[in-house]
Amino acid sequence: MKKIFFLFIFLLSISIFSQENIFTTILIPKELTENANSVVRNQKIDVEIFSKKNMTIKKYKVVTVLNSKGLGNIDAIEYYDKSTSVKSIEAIIYNSFGKEIKKIKRKDFIDQSVADGFSVYSDDRKLFLDYIPIEYPFTIVYTSELETSNTAFLPKWLPLDDFYESIENSSITIKYMSGLGFKYKEKNFNNYNISKQQDLNQITYRAVNIVAQKREELSPSFKNIYPSVLFGLDFFSLEGVEGNATTWEEFGKWRYKSLLSDNEEVSIQTQNAIRELVKDADSPIEKAKRIYEYVQNKTRYVSIQVGIGGWKPMLVSDVDRLGYGDCKALTNYTRVLLKTVGVNSYYTVVYGGEEKISFETDFVSMQGNHIILALPVATGYIFLECTSQTSPFGFNGNFTDDRYALIVKPEGGEIVKTTNYNDSKNKQIISGTYTIDATGNLSGFIQIKSSGIQYDVVYPIEKKSNEDKESYYKNRFSWIKNLKIKKINQLNDKEKIEFTEDVEMMAQSYATISNDLMIVPLNVFNRYVNIPQRYKERKNSFEVSRGFHDNDITQINFPNGYVIDGKFDNVIIESTFGKYKLMLDKENENFVLKREFILNNGVYDKSEYENYRKFMEQIAKSDNSKIILKKA
């Protein structure tokens, strides 16, 4: 007996010893601390799917935080609601020698409502740790266990989930009940050290030694360059509703049937009102336009996320009565109104955001974070943003443009790409004229017409105060010193989706006088000033996600009594990135400056980055070109 006891103690001490080894920070390989604010020493996620309606997620994460910027990578946070409970949560802090310095129990975690400022109300809550470190580096061991009846979303595995964080060891294991149609999709494994092990009803992925990544300008979205695995079920449960994700068609059918089909009732008064509204409209598009404007005038965007409300639109009759709703509610409301007057349109799920994030089209699952409405037309679809009270009919802007989305039709789902405003569809035309007087003062007039995303960026200025408008132009023409705005006229043409600005301005001493010379920066109205960041060694490919087409023509009147002493040489730059032209011509005694800049959309290899930077640098420099005048 004694012997056994001894052995037991011995084993115990070994395990303690090895544990301390993990928690000491001195043993972290040097390459993992390079550019890193934190190091994931060991992360294990264990997911067990017992049934369609029962899943547990256990997390174990050991992170060494090297400095205060790495605090954000502890990720000691769990969200819960009526269908998800936090069964346990705790953390232990070790100093750099592996000595325990603090134990944090559940009651020391902060329990808070998920009030994101965006939602008016949400019943989701979060439990999170707010630890104030007393020294760096330190290591935290975080464990948690969640139980949920929702299986529509399985955890996604992102071994690397942030910049400036390296990974020593990270794994995920999913055990699943058979017959639920378990599936997975691997992304961007390319050069990373990732292994997979598959057994009966079980799958494990493991990543080791991934060095910290730096954030670089113009990088494609995180999920398109770094490794991840998506998991999902063909047959799942969402807030008590059973679902099917075998194909997009089936998934769409399910979504329509369970979340939309029983919510199409609208009051007789409203029915009559909208029938009256469209009675002399001669086409479905005209009807849709009138109803879209009706909704824009009647409703406003308010977010309410309660229970299945996170997925199911609030009642059409409530939206009708209350005049507000979130994206689901307002889109569905518009859809039902259109249906009432015999126009078909479809609830469409998309990822909203300036970054163009697409649906994973080959992985059928709950995706997206925003809803818009698709209106079928001869050429495809027109997409309506129903949460905006000001957006023109059929205009997506940079929030939902050019990405894959899911259209939910009663007969089944369909993946489509939303409208793009690339290159020449994203246009700005400037026609201007300016005069320089003998003292170097400038007076000028400019007309700017913007369409596409350029429209989207500029049209909200229409509603701003005069003071704000003046400040806006002073910022926009920041290179003109002493700028005074004399007159502003703006026209928002929602039919053409074009914004026109007429601006009259003046600036004292715009040109500088040096003895008998006068130096005039020629390009008064449109200069490109953002030169991309230089990197000694670019790591990632880069992306120009929204190209544009600018075309400027400016008439110039130089002061009398001066002749040209020297001028820049006309510039023409052509490359894979786009085209740029700047030329000064003389037309009937007048000088005309012509500028054209076309920037192409595209994803490019990192080796092209320096060329792209030079291309932009050249343009910025040309835009600053000057002419020297001499007293005759």
List binders of another protein among 381-410 (CB under 8 A): 389-390
| 491 touches another protein (CB under 8 A) | no
The one among 479, 493, 559, 600 contacting another protein by CB under 8 A: 479
CA distance 416 to 407: 7
Region for 423 from its dihedrals, namely left if φ exceeds 0, alpha if ψ lies in -120 to 50, beta otherwise: left
Please, which residue, 175 or 214, has the CB nearer to another protein?
214
CB neighbour list of residue 1: distance below 8 Å, 6 or more residues apart: none
3 state SS of 354: coil
Alpha helices in 107-195 (DSSP H): none
Please, which residue, 22 or 273, has the CB nearer to another protein?
273
Please, which residue, 201 or 575, has the CB nearer to another protein?
575
Helix (H) or strand (E) holding 526: none
CA distance 177 to 184: 15
CB of 245 to another protein, least distance (A): 32
CA distance 143 to 56: 13
The one among 19, 21, 68, 246 contacting another protein by CB under 8 A: 68
| 69 touches another protein (CB under 8 A) | yes
Per-position x/- string for 550-569, each x denoting binding to another protein as judged by CB under 8 A, each - no binding: ---------------xxxx-
CB of 227 to another protein, least distance (A): 24
Helix (H) or strand (E) holding 627: strand 626-631
List binders of another protein among 106-125 (CB under 8 A): 110-113, 115, 120-122
CA distance 558 to 436: 5
| 611 touches another protein (CB under 8 A) | no
| 96 touches another protein (CB under 8 A) | no
Per-position x/- string for 315-334, each x denoting binding to another protein as judged by CB under 8 A, each - no binding: ---x--xxxx----------
- Give the DSSP per-residue string, 404-429: EEEEEETTEEEEEEPP---GGGSEEE
Neighbours of 350 (CB within 10 A): 28
Residue 151 has φ and ψ, to the nearest 5°, of -120, 15
CB of 532 to another protein, least distance (A): 8
| 606 touches another protein (CB under 8 A) | no
> What amino acid is encoded at 379 in this protein?
T
CB of 533 to another protein, least distance (A): 6
Q: Which stretch binds another protein (CB under 8 A): 47-55, 444-452, 479-487, 495-503?
A: 479-487
The one among 133, 181, 307, 412 contacting another protein by CB under 8 A: 133
Cα–Cα distances in angstroms (integers) from residue 92 to residues 41, 140, 185, 629, in the given order:
14, 6, 34, 73
| 481 touches another protein (CB under 8 A) | yes
Cα–Cα distances in angstroms (integers) from residue 123 to residues 67, 82, 84, 255, 373, in the given order:
34, 8, 12, 23, 27
| DSSP summary character for residue 157 | B
CB of 200 to another protein, least distance (A): 45
Neighbours of 171 (CB within 10 A): 20
Query: 498 is written with which tokens?
Result: 């074009």
Q: How many residues belong to the site for another protein (CB under 8 A)?
A: 68
| 349 touches another protein (CB under 8 A) | no
Please, which residue, 234 or 326, has the CB nearer to another protein?
326
Q: Which stretch binds another protein (CB under 8 A): 186-194, 220-228, 357-365, 476-484?
A: 476-484
Query: 488 is written with which tokens?
Result: 């502003």
| 77 touches another protein (CB under 8 A) | no
Q: How far is CA 6 from the centre of its chain?
A: 60
| 474 touches another protein (CB under 8 A) | yes
CB of 178 to another protein, least distance (A): 42
CB of 613 to another protein, least distance (A): 8
Neighbours of 468 (CB within 10 A): 10
The one among 18, 178, 379, 465 contacting another protein by CB under 8 A: 465
Q: Are strands 100-104 and 194-199 parallel, antiparallel or unpaired?
A: unpaired
CA distance 500 to 429: 9
CA distance 452 to 601: 14
3 state SS of 524: coil
What is the torsion angle, in degrees rounded to the nearest 10, for the CA atoms of residue 270, residue 272, residue 274 and residue 279? 180
CB of 130 to another protein, least distance (A): 9
List binders of another protein among 508-547 (CB under 8 A): 509, 512, 514-515, 517, 519, 529, 531-536
| 177 touches another protein (CB under 8 A) | no
Q: Which stretch binds another protein (CB under 8 A): 243-251, 466-474, 545-553, 592-600?
A: 466-474
Please, which residue, 383 or 528, has the CB nearer to another protein?
528
| Residue ranges in contact with another protein by CB under 8 A | 35, 67-69, 110-113, 115, 120-122, 132-135, 214, 297-298, 300, 302, 304, 318, 321-324, 389-390, 463-467, 470-471, 474-475, 478-479, 481-482, 509, 512, 514-515, 517, 519, 529, 531-536, 565-568, 613, 617, 620-621, 624-628
